Structure 1
Amino acid sequence: MQKHSSGANGVSNWAIGIDIGGTFTDVVALDYEDGALRTLKVLTTHGDPARGVAEGVERLIAEHAIEAARVGRVVHATTLFTNALIERRGARTGLIATEGFRDVLEIGNERKYDLYDLNIEAAPALVPRRLRAEIGARMNHRGEEIRPVDAEEVKAVVRDLLAQDVDSIAICLLHAYADGRHERAVRDIVLAHAPQMDITLSSEVAPVIREFERGSTTVANAYIKPLANRYLASLQRRLAALGLPADVLMMLSNGGLSHLDEARRTPIELLESGPAAGAISASHHSLRDGQANLLAFDMGGTTAKLCLVENGKPAIAYSFEAARQKRFAEGSGLPIRITTIDLIEIGAGGGSIAHRDALGLMKVGPQSAGSEPGPACYGLGGTAPTVTDANLVLGYLNAEYFAGGTMKIDLGEAKKAIAALGEQLGRPAAEVAWGIHDIVAENMAGAARVHVAERGRDPRDFVLLCTGGGGPLHSYYVAQKIGVKTIICPPAAGVASAYGLLVAPARADRSRTASVRPMSDPLEVLEASFAELEAQVCAVLAPLDDTFGPVRLGRNADGRFVGQGFNLTVRLPDGPYAGPGAADTAAMRAALTRAFESGYRDKFGRTPPDVPVELVNLRVTAEAPPRQQPGSAFLAEAAQAEPKAHRPVYFRELDRHVDTPIYDRAALAAGFDRRGPLLVEDEGSTLVVGPLGRVRQLATGNLVIDIGA
């Protein structure tokens, strides 16, 4: 890992963050000496995403005279691999499974995600049946061999898959979570016949129980692995050609960074990397003003996401669904068993298309114009009305200052697209534009209310922190719909995910199934399992020790009361649980049991009487903060800034366009305090402050909106 340091010698005091979204690629450069941030938005080049990244980075460092030799770290997040799953653009993948289990991918869990849809369709398997092979090797649930690996049988299976031109092979054998010897043996045989083959083992990617979920995760990793390797290799070459570090750090879905080799091994861990970086950025900015509990609302060009942050930490989940058949229908996608920041997709993005449905009603999304051709106002061939077009017609966006003036958009084309939809609906264009904005806000507010309520929380106890190009545009009306009275808009909100990459910790997660009853089973076995997982995560972070540290370890477990069919993940006390330095055995057994019961009561209100606790899956997290932190400059107080312009802007409370002051965010000093309506523009986003809002500029750089009754 390349070292970097700041100081008078001027060596390696810059870091660059790159976030590829469905519409825009955001590039930021951070000077660690003074904390100054340089930003740039460019359209994502879907045909060759690395080209757009390289062009954006080259423009940014040229415009700000940043010497490539002084860049010590490049950090990257992307949604490319999520899109590959959704659009089925992955590799031709084969699966080797235990005899009798090749159809698990299609059988699933036999649950209908919509009970009343007679034409329901499950997410199609990533591997067609003809590319799924079976072998007789078998383990039992204790990891004991029932039938050994037959090398000749495996060779025949491999020859058949190679004859069908597979590019990647997933190996998922029964009970491999208990012992991965058979999977490793099969891998060695495959590599002997096809040394360049990309191979994924379930015992390395998802060594936990539940056959369908483990198989789905393994296959998904194999499906995107060749694509990931090609893209990451191309990215390295392009960055090296610019003189930048080629040892790129990657943001994982868990909100932490890892080195490139780890990303190549398990690219499935990158699926939610961009939104995860946004949540990390939100937490970072809010803590500077002592706000530890917030709803992190991130809206980009394609989707909007929400994350619950409590005590300064984004919520964590250990599974999620990709490529859903129905966007908001749980169970309609591919289950992926990875550690991820707990994000919910709550609505549309700026490119989401508004249309008239079969009932004559206006709907927004889920189809998106993306960046190619993009909204009608981009002038790139798109004609369908989008959320961005509506915001431009409403006056929320400045056609001359879109993306900091780096991209010109056409108000006339936006009006034309909105008017065409208005003709279909029999409504004036202004009413249609507001309807689009309001529908998006209502969809997001409804999903946010459910998400927060399911976690036993009240949204009125939180503040809303808005990021992304669309977050500041929509937060004012979303907050009112969910009852939130305070909004925070951090500096450079439009590129918050890219900035989050530069303040994120390094992180590694490992898990394994090991059924243990803490009140009766030997604690030595539990401690040995945790010690093994801790050694694994520490080994992953060891190459990053120069730039991240010290490492903090955390122990978690999926537990249940014996007889239950579901698990609950809880934090466990720090070890050791047995051996030197451990507490009294009885005390430790009681502490482990209390940890689970406390988490259970927090979730469900009460615990069943006299039922033993069973820990099913053990989980270890290693986290290491950056050793070099950006400077924490504060804004000075100055005279109240004057508007840089005025323009007509529509506000629902007034039911008309009103002449509205427009402020340049860069000109605002600490102590700025104004009542709405007004807009605050910066290079990446526009903050809408309606008539009921009052906005203040804090010394930390955060803008705070208080909404009155």
Structure 2
Amino acid sequence: MSYVLVGVDTGGTFTDLVLLYAGTFKVHKVLSTPEDPSQAILQGLGELGILQTFDVLVHGSTVATNAVLEHKGVATGLITTAGFRDILEIGRQARPKLYSLQAQKVEPLVPRELRVEVIERLNERGEVLLELDEASLTAALERLQSAAVEAVAISLLFSFTNPAHEQRVAELAQQAGFYTSVSSQILPEFREYERTSTTVLNAYIGPLIARYLERLEQELPSHTTLRIMQSNGGSISSGTARSEAARTLLSGPAAGVVGAVYVAQASGFEQAISFDIGGTSTDVALINGAATETTDGMVGGYPSKLPMIDIHTVGAGGGSIAWFDTGGALRVGPRSAGASPGPAAYGLGGHEATVTDANVVLGRLIPEAFLGGAMTLDLQAAHLAVQLIATRLQTTPEEAALGIIRVVNANMEGAIRVISVERGCDPRSFTLVAFGGAGPLHACELAAALRIPRVLVPTVPGVLSALGTLVADTLKDYVRTVMLTSEQAQEVVTTVLQDLEQQGRQDLQAEGIAAEDVRIERYLDLRYVGQSYELRIPFVQKIEQAVRDFHAAHEQRFGYNDPAERVQVVNVRLKARGLTHKPEPQHQQASTDQRLIPLSQRQVVFAGSTGAVATYETPVYERANLVAETTLAGPAIIVQYDTTTVLPPDWQGYVDQVGNLILERREEQ
């Protein structure tokens, strides 16, 4: 029996849908509705004609991210151990910008008057030094109730070693009617500041996520299963997402990376860089056989220690607005025109020049081919908006548009360097997987700047994040702090992993995952004794091998190691993976007729060999006509429903056996 699956990714400008049935899929895009993202989803389902007939909806959501970035979460209180109410402000005592005289730290999500203390104390081993004082707890809860707090974060000292006090606090807080976020459930791991920050993030967005998912579920058919993407690249049930909302903070971008892994491996590339340009931002991530993870994430300036794909985001997208700083230099982003009013070319009232408008002026976006002709761009409005920039620069509109592209490309180039060069990886060994509505527009120029040898454009680049939700596995992450030297750790690590594995298998079974589809991955967080940071190392059976792997990883990451130094096991981690039955890539038959006939010819502006504006007579091709083994040479424009691909003059490309477009510089051949 074939199920009808729908993957959804809600972005700043468009909401993308992918319908998968019997191994085939259909794509669709609608304008996002930021005030209520569910309305765009329901509109898209209705336009696909499946509002009452699908079985599973997997949703990559931006609700949690936007709530944090815009400071629109619920009124949140914090209950902590007496003497520690200021942990959110003290943090790591690090300046956000070391050399800035005007650096401002982000305001805590919980103001000081809503951070209350209870009398209790454990030591680092979880032994009770001071029993929980129920009177102080009652007073704390009454104070939060009088302040009309909706959610409460509970983070007591050393609760990750003994959760008893936190469990009692949570019990009474729930009885008082609060949404509760408990650190020993969300993140049972050492480091007080990060654990508290993560727990607060979960409380701050939890009620919003719960209400949003409840509203969406009411609109969906009763037989439909709703699943939510996590920041770690796996999906969870909507019920889990309600109680552990912080796991969805990078939900949408993570889905894009999962999709990039899927298409890159289908074409035989294990090392790739995912490059996702949407309407408001660019997300990049390193794929080294699998997506790279981190537990040192930051969302809106607030630390989160939950596992998430190591994604670096910059405010540079199709809707990013061009402007001038106080020194008169041209800047692009991070402010965006969004979905409303959108770029000037959308004809919805926007008048400021954006990256999309620059691409229209350069001839790279074809007004009548946008969204497969479902939406026509306003060429005159785009020219008027870019003309304002050109007047300030005293240049032609084409030169101004090229300047906008160069500036935004520089921002994106910096982002790619952060996740590659700064992680000890050479981008020249990777393939750039370009997707999102604007990724294929900019990918070749970015690859040339970074000397990345090739670009891969998937068959459905504009909706790859939505496809990623459908190929994502069900993931459960578990962690326990042990803090032992490697010589002492073997027995403890083995016992802890057995406990975590049992818990993981039970949780996946509760999510409906068959036992034969469960895979267990084991890791250790290791560091040299005395260090304050760790590296995550895969663990098989022996600590000794993990230590050797740690020395090698330390050399790659930091450029040195010391095999004579003692190694400490900080955390034991386990990932329980419920495998998704992914659609097999469809191998295409090569056409016997290799003649490639363009749809049209048009004038397109590129940077010439000296960097000056150069106009080329450029053929325009329909992506659907590019079958396996088709080759083409730049300059060329390839149009399709969900994006436009730009092939510069010194590039060439071919279509591989699974339909992905592989682009390479001629000099790199």
Residue 599 of structure 2 corresponds to 644
8 A contact 1:254–1:276 mirrored in 2: yes
Residue 199 of structure 1 corresponds to 180
Residue 528 of structure 2 corresponds to 561
Residue 491 of structure 2 corresponds to 524
Question: What CA deviation, in whole Å up to 9, does each residue of 1:220-277 have, x standing for no partner?
Answer: 110000110011111111222xx6x442111111111111111111111111111111
Give the counterpart of 1:623 among 561, 566, 577: 577
Give the counterpart of 1:534 among 483, 501, 510: 501
Rounded to whole Å, the distance in 2 between the matches of 1:540 and 1:26 is: 30
- Trace 1:46-61 onto structure 2 (pairs within 5 A): 46-60=34-48
Rounded to whole Å, the distance in 2 between the matches of 1:216 and 1:590 is: 34
CA RMSD in angstroms comes to 1.8
Residue 28 of structure 1 corresponds to 18
Question: What CA deviation, in whole Å up to 9, does each residue of 1:335-354 have, x standing for no partner?
Answer: 11111111112450011000
Rounded to whole Å, the distance in 1 between the matches of 2:34 and 2:155 is: 32
Residue 314 of structure 1 corresponds to 291
Give the counterpart of 1:287 among 250, 261, 265: 265
After TM superposition, give the deviation of residue 674 of structure 1 in Å.
1.4
Q: Does 1:107 align with 2:105?
A: no
Q: Does 1:41 align with 2:32?
A: no
Letter paired with 2:156? L
When structure 1 is superposed on structure 2, of 389-398 and 619-628 the one drifting more is 619-628
Q: Does 1:120 align with 2:103?
A: yes
Question: What CA deviation, in whole Å up to 9, does each residue of 1:372-408 have, x standing for no partner?
Answer: 2111111222211111111111111121222222323
1:553 is paired with a residue whose SS is: strand
8 A contact 2:55–2:224 mirrored in 1: no
8 A contact 2:509–2:515 mirrored in 1: no
Rounded to whole Å, the distance in 2 between the matches of 1:319 and 1:546 is: 29
Residue 663 of structure 1 corresponds to 621
Rounded to whole Å, the distance in 2 between the matches of 1:82 and 1:369 is: 18
8 A contact 2:537–2:546 mirrored in 1: no
When structure 1 is superposed on structure 2, of 503-512 and 548-557 the one drifting more is 548-557
8 A contact 1:321–1:334 mirrored in 2: yes
2:562 is paired with a residue whose SS is: coil
2:253 is paired with a residue whose SS is: helix
Rounded to whole Å, the distance in 1 between the matches of 2:563 and 2:624 is: 60
Question: What CA deviation, in whole Å up to 9, does each residue of 1:414-444 have, x standing for no partner?
Answer: 1111111222222221111111111111221
Rounded to whole Å, the distance in 2 between the matches of 1:355 and 1:67 is: 42
- Trace 1:141-220 onto structure 2 (pairs within 5 A): 141-194=124-177, 197-220=178-201
8 A contact 1:346–1:448 mirrored in 2: no
Question: What CA deviation, in whole Å up to 9, does each residue of 1:191-211 have, x standing for no partner?
Answer: 2222xx210001111111111
Q: Kindly tell me: are residues 589 and 351 of structure 1, through their superposed partners in 2, closer, same or farther at Cα, counting changes over 3 Å?
A: closer
When structure 1 is superposed on structure 2, of 589-598 and 75-84 the one drifting more is 589-598
- Trace 1:468-479 onto structure 2 (pairs within 5 A): 468-479=436-447
Give the counterpart of 1:673 among 631, 638, 651: 631
Q: Kindly tell me: are residues 140 and 103 of structure 1, through their superposed partners in 2, closer, same or farther at Cα, counting changes over 3 Å?
A: same
2:172 is paired with a residue whose SS is: helix
8 A contact 1:347–1:440 mirrored in 2: no
Letter paired with 2:507? V
Residue 543 of structure 1 corresponds to 510
Give the counterpart of 2:7 among 7, 17, 27: 17
Q: Kindly tell me: are residues 531 and 548 of structure 1, through their superposed partners in 2, closer, same or farther at Cα, counting changes over 3 Å?
A: closer
Rounded to whole Å, the distance in 2 between the matches of 1:546 and 1:620 is: 17
When structure 1 is superposed on structure 2, of 450-459 and 486-495 the one drifting more is 450-459
8 A contact 2:315–2:335 mirrored in 1: no
Residue 499 of structure 1 corresponds to 467
Letter paired with 2:500? L
8 A contact 1:139–1:174 mirrored in 2: yes
8 A contact 1:635–1:700 mirrored in 2: no
Q: Kindly tell me: are residues 203 and 487 of structure 1, through their superposed partners in 2, closer, same or farther at Cα, counting changes over 3 Å?
A: same
Q: Does 1:229 align with 2:210?
A: yes
Question: What CA deviation, in whole Å up to 9, does each residue of 1:448-475 have, x standing for no partner?
Answer: 2343112222111111110111110000
Q: Does 1:274 align with 2:252?
A: yes
8 A contact 1:517–1:615 mirrored in 2: yes
1:469 is paired with a residue whose SS is: coil
- Trace 1:54-453 onto structure 2 (pairs within 5 A): 54-60=42-48, 62=49, 66=50, 68-69=52-53, 71-194=54-177, 197-240=178-221, 245-311=223-289, 313-323=290-300, 333-346=301-314, 348-453=316-421
Q: Kindly tell me: are residues 83 and 47 of structure 1, through their superposed partners in 2, closer, same or farther at Cα, counting changes over 3 Å?
A: same
Rounded to whole Å, the distance in 1 between the matches of 2:335 and 2:34 is: 17
Letter paired with 1:569? R
8 A contact 1:549–1:627 mirrored in 2: no
After TM superposition, give the deviation of residue 79 of structure 1 in Å.
1.6
After TM superposition, give the deviation of residue 606 of structure 1 in Å.
4.2
Rounded to whole Å, the distance in 2 between the matches of 1:198 and 1:391 is: 47
8 A contact 2:186–2:199 mirrored in 1: yes
Rounded to whole Å, the distance in 2 between the matches of 1:589 and 1:455 is: 25
After TM superposition, give the deviation of residue 129 of structure 1 in Å.
0.7
Rounded to whole Å, the distance in 1 between the matches of 2:385 and 2:558 is: 49
Residue 585 of structure 1 corresponds to none
Rounded to whole Å, the distance in 2 between the matches of 1:507 and 1:382 is: 41
After TM superposition, give the deviation of residue 15 of structure 1 in Å.
1.0
Rounded to whole Å, the distance in 1 between the matches of 2:536 and 2:355 is: 38
Rounded to whole Å, the distance in 1 between the matches of 2:35 and 2:187 is: 31
Unaligned runs of 5+ in 1: 7-11, 324-332, 575-587
Residue 452 of structure 2 corresponds to 484
After TM superposition, give the deviation of residue 29 of structure 1 in Å.
0.4
Rounded to whole Å, the distance in 2 between the matches of 1:438 and 1:130 is: 47
Rounded to whole Å, the distance in 2 between the matches of 1:610 and 1:443 is: 41
8 A contact 2:636–2:647 mirrored in 1: yes
Rounded to whole Å, the distance in 2 between the matches of 1:649 and 1:50 is: 38
Q: Kindly tell me: are residues 596 and 107 of structure 1, through their superposed partners in 2, closer, same or farther at Cα, counting changes over 3 Å?
A: same
Q: Kindly tell me: are residues 260 and 160 of structure 1, through their superposed partners in 2, closer, same or farther at Cα, counting changes over 3 Å?
A: same
Question: What CA deviation, in whole Å up to 9, does each residue of 1:158-183 have, x standing for no partner?
Answer: 11111111110000111111111111
- Trace 1:564-583 onto structure 2 (pairs within 5 A): 564-574=531-541
Q: Does 1:706 align with 2:660?
A: no
When structure 1 is superposed on structure 2, of 547-556 and 269-278 the one drifting more is 547-556
8 A contact 1:549–1:625 mirrored in 2: no
TM-score of the aligned structures, taking structure 2 as reference length: 0.96
1:298 is paired with a residue whose SS is: strand
Letter paired with 1:228? I
Rounded to whole Å, the distance in 1 between the matches of 2:137 and 2:585 is: 57
